[in-house]
Structure 1
Amino acid sequence: MIDLALIGIGTGNPEHLTLQAIREINTADLILIPRKGSAKADLADLRRTICAEVLTNKATRIAEFDVPCRDVENPDYLVGVNDWHDAIVAAWQDAIAAHLPDDGPQDRAKSLKVALLVWGDPALYDSTLRIAARLDPAPNIRSIPGIMSMNMLAAAHAIALNDIGAPFIVTTGRQLRDHGWPSGVDTLVVMLDGECSFQYLDFEGVTIYWGAYVGMAEQILRKGPLAELGPQIVAERAKSRDDHGWIMDIYLLRRAAGGR
């Protein structure tokens, strides 16, 4: 029996771990750390740093595994993602199987507590919960909430996510590019945007609050009129990605109430 804890770790800063997250890390028998190639080695390093700072249980084992690459050439985005998730499931299962108890029937009958450290919160624009549901046999899955990137963005800029009594929408760059600004809201939080899709919008009256590597030592923050900052952010994002080999960014767009 596998007891699988998906632990939200925020943006990788150990100071942002909840007490529940720290407790779960220390009750795990096995912590899995994904490797995403040399260009993204920082992401594995941050997980190792978290374990080094908060893990006090000497019996807990740490195992690393290579994350399969998604076929970005597949013209059917959903099919490509589905195939990618199947490959990740196989990688998880191999890593877990390599660390199952092997000291006899009594050990094998015990539940193995496995933990995965998940960026942000497993419930927001993250596929870890869906991937975990594909494991066979099905584990007992628990989701441990973490600080979401949009919370970190709002805190970094010292702003509220919503205007008084007003709704806001959390969406993706793909949705913004393909469908434009959603009707009925004046505030958008945009995630998973590798193309700076705000470039497809009418800039008039729109303010952007942008952040990259939010909560990390490399944090970059920009805020101001989209018409002025848009081109600067496009250039700065490209440079930062080249410098680090990867980038995580998020932004909030706000327009005057009732804007079009």
Structure 2
Amino acid sequence: MMNRFDIFSATQEPFADSRESADFLRMARDRFGVLNLSYWFLGASNDLPDRMTWLSTYDESYMAIYMREYSPLKDRAFQICFRTLLPLDWAQLRNSDESVQHIHETAEQFGVGRHGISIPIRDPGVGDAMFSINFECDDRLWEKLRQELVNSIHLFAHYYHLRMKNVLAARPVSAEFDLSPREREVLQWAAEGKTAWETAQLLGLSESAVNLYSSKAMSKLRAKTKTQAVAIAVKNAILN
């Protein structure tokens, strides 16, 4: 059974650096009585692995293999987690396709437990994060523990992300979310009320090309609609 851990009995100051945040993660793992904890900060763009931050209690050899062979760019867990915005039980993924099965099989070879939950964290203007908790038990016990873990770890995940913000701010995260000039142009015209067809005429592009640039901008800004992408871009001074 998982140990109780009052997160607010710990220091609530922002982490001074990544070493302090990693030490706190290991301490939290032991206090929760789980196998592993993991925090991913994905940055403002899902196209730039070098902008990602990964802190976890996993075996370092496994972390190196994961980044080399998979990374969030190839891991469907991230796509599904951020699509639902609800805590994701790893059991929902394990048999979804061969690539996911291979990730889980590799992880288990390095001592990563069979069961886990991943929690998406959306932070507009800062970037997305995902916090995971990993547990080892048989399937029947997992059914009993799963909800307790969700209830206990959900608040902790957001608390940990808040304490990470100073550490993340010290990293070279792009203020422009890495939009290309064309992607910014398309959003600029959308902000001025132009349709895709009108934007195509203004820029000398096809309407399908304009829609493609819009789609890429939406993806980078983690927006569900073009209107939302424009709002995020305006808020973060991406547009003129």
Could you say which TM-score interval applies, normalised by the shorter chain? 0.3 to 0.5
Q: What TM-score comes out, normalization by structure 2 length?
A: 0.33
**When you count strand as a share of all residues, which structure comes out higher?**
1
